[in-house]
């Protein structure tokens, strides 16, 4: 179980403080919502592209993708 932070980057899919069910993973598909670590923080964003184990992610409420490759720790299942 995890809790979505209050940044608003995943609105309207998730709002701050919502609980989500997480499953540990090392792999994801485009369209999956994953949890990954960046600068000592856990981020919940959607995978928009994968190439050779490099996952490019983006918040649903943001225009631009995140910078760099994300390595999923969890995939959101509910």
Which pLDDT tens digit goes with each residue over 26-35? 999 999 999 9
16 or 24, higher pLDDT: 24
Domain count, the chain: 1
Mean pLDDT of the 39-47 span: 91
pTM comes to 0.88
pLDDT at 14 (0 to 100): 87
- Residue 42 pLDDT greater than 90, yes or no: no
pLDDT at 3 (0 to 100): 62
| Domain membership of residue 23 as a residue range | 2-76
For the chain, the farthest-separated pair of C-alpha atoms sits apart, in whole angstroms, at: 33
Secondary structure of the chain in HEC code, one letter for each residue: CEECCCCCCCCCCCCCCCEECEEECCCCCCCCEEEEEECCEEEEEEEEEEECCEEEEECCCCCCCCCCCECEEEEECC
- Residue 19 pLDDT greater than 90, yes or no: no
Query: What pairing do the DSSP bridges indicate for beta strands 72-76 and 33-38?
Result: antiparallel
């Amino acid at each position: 179980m995890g809790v979505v932070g209050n940044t608003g980057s995943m609105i309207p899919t998730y709002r701050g403080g919502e609980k989500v069910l997480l499953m540990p993973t090392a792999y994801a598909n485009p369209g999956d919502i994953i949890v990954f670590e960046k600068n000592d923080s856990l981020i919940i964003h959607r995978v928009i592209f994968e190439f050779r184990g490099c996952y490019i992610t983006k918040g649903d409420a943001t225009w631009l993708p995140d910078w760099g490759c994300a390595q999923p720790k969890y995939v959101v299942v509910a």
